[in-house]
Amino acid sequence: MTKARLMQGNEACAEGALAAGVNFFAGYPITPSTEIAETMARLLPKRGGTFVQMEDEIASMGAILGASLAGAKVMDATSGPGFSLKQELIGYAACAEIPCVVALVQRVGPSTGQPTAPSQGDVMQTRWGTHGDHSILVLSPWSVRETFDASVLAVNYAERFRMPVILLLDEIVGHLRERVVLPEHVETYPRRKPKKTRAEGYQPFAPDDDLVPNVADFGTGYHIHVTGLIHDETGFPSGSPAVTAEAIRRMQEKIARAGEGIVHTEASFMEDAKWAVVAFGGTARTAYEAVRTMRARGGKVGLLRLMTIWPFADAVIARLAKQVRGILVAELSYGQIVHEVRRAAAGACPVALCAKYNMKAFEPAEIVAGIEKLMGGDVK
Amino acid sequence: MSAEQTAERSFERYFRANRLPHLWCPGCGNGIAMKAIVQAIEKKGLSQDDTVIVSGIGCSSRASGYMDFDTLHTAHGRAIPFATGIKLANPKLNVVVITGDGDCTAIGGNHFIHGCRRNIDLTVVLFNNNIYGMTGGQASPTTPLGAKATTAPYGSVDRPFDACRLAEASGATYVARSTAFHVRHLSDMIAGGFDNKGFSFIEAMVQCPTAYGRKNKMASPAAMMEWMRDHAVMKAAFDKLPDTEKSAGRFPIGLLYQSEDVDYDTAYEVVKERAGGAGK
Amino acid sequence: MHLKATITVKKLRCKGCGICVAFCPKHVLAVDALSKVFIRDAEACIGCGQCELRCPDYAIFADKVKGAAV
C-alpha cells in the first residue's frame, strides 16, 4: 500500500485512470471537472503519456477516439454543457466500438445552469443523450477512494466491451477531499488483439464469443476501415436490413450478456430492513447518514447504493421491492432515477421520491423526513 | 485490341480493388484527387502499414473506404480532431486527412484553424467542389458569390472563404493549391505536404458536375476542368498580375505559403522532457 | 496497321463522363449509347496519356507501343 494522501475526487479520477493504463487524455476546461484535466496535464507527460487541450469538447472527444484507435487507452472529462456537445461522438464510439472513458462531473442544468453547484440531473442524458439505439455503461462512485476504483473499472470495461464508459461524478464527489490510501497495483484489462492474420481471413468487426470484436489498432498492418455508418464484420458500410439489425442487436447484447457481474451495488443495513433508501453518488453519503439516524431510532431502514447506473440494476431493485414495504429514492434532480426504480419495482412496493434541485446537497434530516413520510408512522 | 484488357498501374495497389468502382458521380473530380494522393504516397514511398487515412463526412470523405491503409471515416467536420489523436498517440504514423469544403470550413472550421495553430503533423487535403454534394447541392462556405445552390436559389450572398488564406493565417506551415485539371501538379503539391513536418494543407479544386455544374451552366465535367485550366495561374505569375486580372475569377495555384515552425509532436517531446517522462 | 499506342478500357469502371473524350487531342475516343467510352479511331492515338491522366474512374489506360514512331 502507498502512504495516505489527502485527495480530491477529481484527482482520484485521474489517478485511477493512470493506474488503469490511460496514456492519452484530451480535454477542454469546464467547471466542476477541470481538476481532472489539470491533474492529467501534470502527470501524463511525467509517465510518457500525452495530454492535449483541444479547442472544444467535441474536438477533445474526437481526439480521444483517434488516439484509442491508434492503440492508446484514453479518457476525457467534462461537465453537463460539454457532455451535451460530446453526444454525437459518444454515439460514434458506440457504433464504431471504440474504447473510451468520459468522466462527467455533474452540475445544475439545463444550459449553463449553476456551474459550481451539485446536481444529479444528467443521469438520463448518460443513457439516452446520443441518438439511436445503443448500450452504455455508467458508473457513479460515492467517495474519493471509490472514484479511484471506479475510474480503473471504467477503463477496464471500456477495453473489455469496446465502448464508451461514462464515469458519472457529481460536484459533491468531484470536489470532495478525503484521506485515501491508493493500491500499488490494480488489475488492468489489456487492449484486445486480433486472433487471426489478414491471410487467415481476419474481419475486424467479427464478434468474439463475448460478442465484442477484436479490432486491430491502427499501424499494426491490418488495413482496417472504421466508420460510424452501420457496418458488417468487414467494417465497411452496409445498406442491408439484416446487417443493420444484427449490428444494433449486438451493441445491446454485448452488455446484456455480461449480466449482473457489471451491475455494482452496495447494500447497508439491509439484512432485516423493512424500508429502503435508494441513492447514488454524493447523495448516497447523506442517505447513509439518514439511515443510521433511523436505525438509532429503531427504524428498520436500509440503504441500497447504486454504483453502476447503467445498465440499471433491474434484478437488484426487483428483489428489494419484494423484501421491503417501501422504497425512497433520494436524488439531486426533479426525479430521474426514480422512474427506473419504479419500473424495476413493478408495483411490488411503493416507491417515493425525495428530490432536491436548489443548488444544495441533501441534509440528512431531509432524507430522514422523506423516510418518515414514506413509513407513515410505521417505525417498527 | 481488346477493350477489356487489364492494365495495371502501380498506384492501384493503394486501392482496395474490391471496393471499386467508387460511388462518385460520372465526371466527379474526387476520383482524380484521390489518385493524386496515392501517387504522392507512392512517390514519397510512405508505408501502407504506417499511413492512416482519416476523413469526415461528405462526398470527399468516402475516399477513405477505397484506400488500402488503415482508414477512418469519422463524423461530419471531425476528421482533424480524430487525426490529431491518432498522430499524438502514435507519432510514427503518417496521417492524411481527406475533407471537403463543408466538412473542413463549415462544421469543422474551428478544428481546422486549431489544427493549423497547433501545427500538428498532418497532411490535410481539401477536396473543394464549392457545394454540399452528398446532400444534393446546398451552398457551402466556398460557394462563389452569386453562384446558385438549392439553398441559394437566387445566388449565394454569403462571402466565400479562401481556405488557403485561412490556413496560412491560422498557422499552417505548408499551404498549397492545385486542381483536378492539373493532376500531376496536384500530386506534387500533396507530396510536398508529406515532406513538411507540421500542418500541411492542400486545397484540391475539384469539379462537381452534378450538384454544382448543372445549377451553374457548367454541366459538362470537361467544361468545368477547362474552366480550371483557364483560371488557375501559377503563384509566381499570379503575383505579377494586375489587380483587375486577379479579380477576373483567376486564382493562384502552387505552393502558396511555407514556414519553419516546430510541430506539435516535437514540442510535446520537450514537455515530456521537462516533466521527466521522456522515453517512458 | 501500325498502332503508335494501345488503349485499354476497364468498362466496369467507366461511367461515360466524357472527360477523356474532351481532352483527347486526336479525337480517338467517344462515348457509346450505353454511356461507356469506346475507341473510334485507334490509329490516331499518339499515346499522350491525357485520357488516363484525368480519368476520375481509373477506367482508361494508354500505353505507347515500343519502337513505334510518334
Chain B's closest residue to A23, CA to CA, is: B89
How many Cβ pairs closer than 8 A exist between chain A and B?
A: 149
* Nearest residue to B31 via CA among B212, C35, B39: B39
Residues of B whose CB is below 8 A from A72: 85, 89-90
Mutate to test the interface with C, among B5, B12, B18 (most CBs of C within 10 A): B5
Q: Which helix (H) or strand (E) holds A168?
A: strand A164-170
User: B130 — contact with chain A (CB < 8 Å)?
Assistant: no
What is the C-alpha separation between B7 and B4, in angstroms, rounded? 9
| pLDDT tens digits for range C17-66 | 999 999 999 999 999 999 999 999 999 999 999 999 999 999 999 999 98
Reply yes or no on whether the pLDDT at B262 is more than 90: yes
The distance of B278 to chain C (nearest Cα, Å) reads: 46
User: B18 — contact with chain A (CB < 8 Å)?
Assistant: no
**A71: nearest CB among B78, B90, B272:** B90
Is the Cβ pair A218, B86 closer than 8 Å? Answer: yes
**A26: nearest CB among B64, B71, B85:** B85
The distance of B200 to chain A (nearest Cα, Å) reads: 18
The distance of B252 to chain C (nearest Cα, Å) reads: 21
**C8: nearest CB among B5, B180, B221:** B5
Helix (H, G, I), strand (E, B) or coil at B225: helix
User: A232 — contact with chain B (CB < 8 Å)?
Assistant: no
The distance of B237 to chain C (nearest Cα, Å) reads: 24
**A70: nearest CB among B69, B93, B271:** B93
Which of A127-141, A229-243, B4-18, B113-127 is the least confident region?
Answer: B4-18
ipTM above 0.90, yes or no: yes
Record the pTM: 0.97
The distance of C20 to chain B (nearest Cα, Å) reads: 8
User: B20 — contact with chain C (CB < 8 Å)?
Assistant: yes
CATH numbers and ranges of domains, chain A: 4-181 (3.40.50.970), 266-375 (3.40.50.920)
Reply yes or no on whether the pLDDT at B6 is more than 60: no
* Nearest residue to C34 via CA among C8, C11, C61, C55: C11
Residue B139's pLDDT is 98
Residue B278's pLDDT is 87
Reply yes or no on whether the pLDDT at C70 is more than 70: no
What is the C-alpha separation between A255 and A234, in angstroms, rounded? 22
Mutate to test the interface with A, among B48, B78, B99 (most CBs of A within 10 A): B78
Comparison of pLDDT for B7 and B247, the residue scoring more: B247
**B3: nearest CB among C9, C56, C63:** C9
Query: What pLDDT tens digit does each residue of chain A (380 aa) get?
Result: 579 999 999 999 999 999 999 999 999 999 999 999 999 999 999 999 999 999 999 999 999 999 999 999 999 999 999 999 999 999 999 999 999 999 999 999 999 999 999 999 999 999 999 999 999 999 999 999 999 999 999 999 999 999 999 999 999 999 999 999 999 999 999 999 999 999 999 999 999 999 999 999 999 999 999 999 999 999 999 999 999 999 999 999 999 999 999 999 999 999 999 999 999 999 999 999 999 999 999 999 999 999 999 999 999 999 999 999 999 999 999 999 999 999 999 999 999 999 999 999 999 999 999 999 999 965 44
Residue B279's pLDDT is 84
Residues of A whose CB is below 8 A from B81: 54, 58-63, 66
What is the C-alpha separation between B202 and B173, in angstroms, rounded? 11
Residue A379's pLDDT is 46
- Evaluated on CA atoms B135, B141, B146, B152, the torsion sign reads positive
Residue C13's pLDDT is 96
Residues 2-61, chain C, touching B (beta carbon < 8 A): 3, 6-13, 15-19, 21-23, 35, 38-39, 42, 53-59, 61
Residue B142: φ, ψ to 5°:
-115, 10
Is the Cβ pair B21, C56 closer than 8 Å? Answer: no
User: A52 — contact with chain B (CB < 8 Å)?
Assistant: yes
User: A229 — contact with chain B (CB < 8 Å)?
Assistant: yes
Chain B's closest residue to A88, CA to CA, is: B75
Chains in contact with C, counting 3 or more C-beta pairs less than 8 Å apart as contact: B
Residue B246's pLDDT is 87
Residues 132-151, chain B, touching A (beta carbon < 8 A): none
Residue B245's pLDDT is 86
User: What is the secondary structure of A219-288 as a DSSP string?
Assistant: TSS---EEESS-B-TTSSB---HHHHHHHHHHHHHHHHTTGGGG--EEEES-TT-SEEEEEEHHHHHHHH
What is the C-alpha separation between B47 and B194, in angstroms, rounded? 12
Tracing cell 443523450 back to the chain, one arrives at A129
CATH numbers and ranges of domains, chain B: 29-278 (3.40.50.970)
Mean pLDDT on B14-31: 97
What is the C-alpha separation between A77 and A38, in angstroms, rounded? 10
Residue B247's pLDDT is 82
What is the C-alpha separation between A148 and A123, in angstroms, rounded? 20
**A218: nearest CB among B65, B70, B274:** B70
Is the Cβ pair A62, B74 closer than 8 Å? Answer: yes
Residues 236-265, chain A, touching B (beta carbon < 8 A): 236-237
Chains C and B are touching, with contact defined as 3 or more CB–CB pairs separated by less than 8 Å: yes
| pLDDT tens digits for range B61-85 | 999 999 999 999 999 999 999 999 9
Q: How far apart are the first and last CA of chain C?
A: 14
User: A224 — contact with chain B (CB < 8 Å)?
Assistant: yes
Residues of B whose CB is below 8 A from A219: 49-50, 52, 70, 90, 92-93
Phi/psi zone of residue A30: left (φ > 0), alpha (ψ -120 to 50 degrees), beta? beta
* Nearest residue to B73 via CA among A58, A65, A73: A65
The distance of A136 to chain B (nearest Cα, Å) reads: 19
- Evaluated on CA atoms A62, A63, A67, A73, the torsion sign reads negative
Is the Cβ pair A62, B85 closer than 8 Å? Answer: yes
Is the Cβ pair B275, A49 closer than 8 Å? Answer: no
Q: How confident is the model at residue B8 (pLDDT cuts 50, 70, 90)?
A: confident
**C18: nearest CB among B2, B20, B222:** B222
